[in-house]
């Protein structure tokens, strides 16, 4: 297990390192970053770790800013000195959280929880078989943490109508019709969404099953999908995806 620790307090870093060595002796701490800027730079330059511990308050701001500037393609556990009431806000978009000073039993429980829910991906056997990166499994997204202005919003997949691209940007449209910006491309998101509930109609949109209002036959065996909330001129399933789309609708 390769672990990234985002922590700017020397004492807290030493404690976390010591506790992890006791609980998970085979784990490797691949890096320690101390600021938002350093963390963003590291994530862009290195392969994703298997797990990351993020201190909430860093030298140049709160660590939530990292998610707006880089892809965090691994489970994250927040560590913070905030009281338990403030922590409720963080828990909804983290695999777990730990209150400082971190206790051995709390960290052990967190590690057990992470392994139990399968969010730490075991890629060693795949690497040994020379499996291409694009074929390796990616943990499904459990929820989105989205920043707009000075606010954050957590959106769960069940509240999504569809995700679309426009002018090289990506947006999520909620069932209530609100558009929220995303940092990741449709190509990457397609691999991280539940394939039973989401389908990539074409190059522009990924749809959630629940947003389909009506299907209309279109030219060359294609299908026009009328969605709720409305999506511009509606969406047409590309010809190469039509057969697959019909199987998906049938649950096949």
Domains in the chain with CATH codes: 2-134 (3.40.50.2300), 158-249 (2.40.50.1020)
pLDDT in tens, 140-171: 777 777 766 666 678 888 999 999 998 888 99
pLDDT in tens, 68-124: 888 888 888 888 876 654 555 555 456 777 888 999 999 998 888 777 655 554 433
Phi, psi for 186 (deg, rounded to 5): -60, -35
Is the confidence at residue 52, as pLDDT, over 80?
A: yes
Question: Which pLDDT score, from 0 to 100, does residue 139 have?
Answer: 60
Q: How far is 218 from 154, CA to CA, in rounded Å?
A: 36
Residues 238-248 as b/e (b if ≥16 CB within 10 A, e otherwise) read: beebbeebeeb
SS3 228: coil
Q: Count of H helices and E strands in the chain?
A: 8, 17
CB 2 within 8 A of CB 14: no
Is the confidence at residue 221, as pLDDT, over 90?
A: no
Question: Which pLDDT score, from 0 to 100, does residue 233 have?
Answer: 76
Question: Which pLDDT score, from 0 to 100, does residue 167 have?
Answer: 81
CB 160 within 8 A of CB 208: yes
Question: Which pLDDT score, from 0 to 100, does residue 125 have?
Answer: 36
């Amino acid at each position: 297990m390769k672990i990234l620790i985002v922590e700017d307090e020397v004492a807290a870093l030493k404690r976390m390192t010591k506790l992890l060595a006791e609980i998970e002796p085979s784990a490797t701490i691949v890096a320690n970053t101390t600021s938002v800027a350093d963390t963003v730079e590291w994530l862009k330059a290195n392969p994703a770790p298997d797990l990351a511990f993020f201190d909430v308050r860093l030298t140049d701001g709160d660590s939530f800013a990292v998610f707006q500037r880089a892809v965090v393609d691994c489970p994250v556990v927040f560590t913070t000195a905030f009281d338990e009431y403030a922590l409720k806000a963080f828990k909804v978009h983290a695999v777990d959280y730990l209150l400082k000073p971190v206790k051995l039993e709390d960290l052990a429980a967190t590690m057990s929880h992470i392994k139990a829910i399968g969010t730490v991906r075991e890629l060693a056997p795949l690497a040994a078989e020379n499996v291409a990166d694009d074929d390796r499994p990616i943990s499904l997204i459990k929820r989105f943490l989205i920043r707009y202005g000075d606010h954050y919003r957590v959106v769960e997949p069940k509240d999504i109508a569809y995700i679309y691209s426009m002018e090289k940007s990506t947006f999520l449209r909620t069932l209530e019709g609100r558009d929220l910006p995303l940092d990741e491309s449709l190509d990457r998101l397609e691999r991280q969404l539940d394939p039973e509930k989401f389908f990539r109609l074409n190059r522009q949109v990924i749809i959630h099953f629940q947003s389909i209002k009506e299907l209309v036959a279109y030219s060359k065996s294609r299908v026009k999908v009328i969605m709720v909330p409305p999506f511009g001129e509606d969406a047409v399933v590309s010809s190469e995806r039509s057969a697959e789309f019909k199987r998906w609708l049938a649950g096949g």
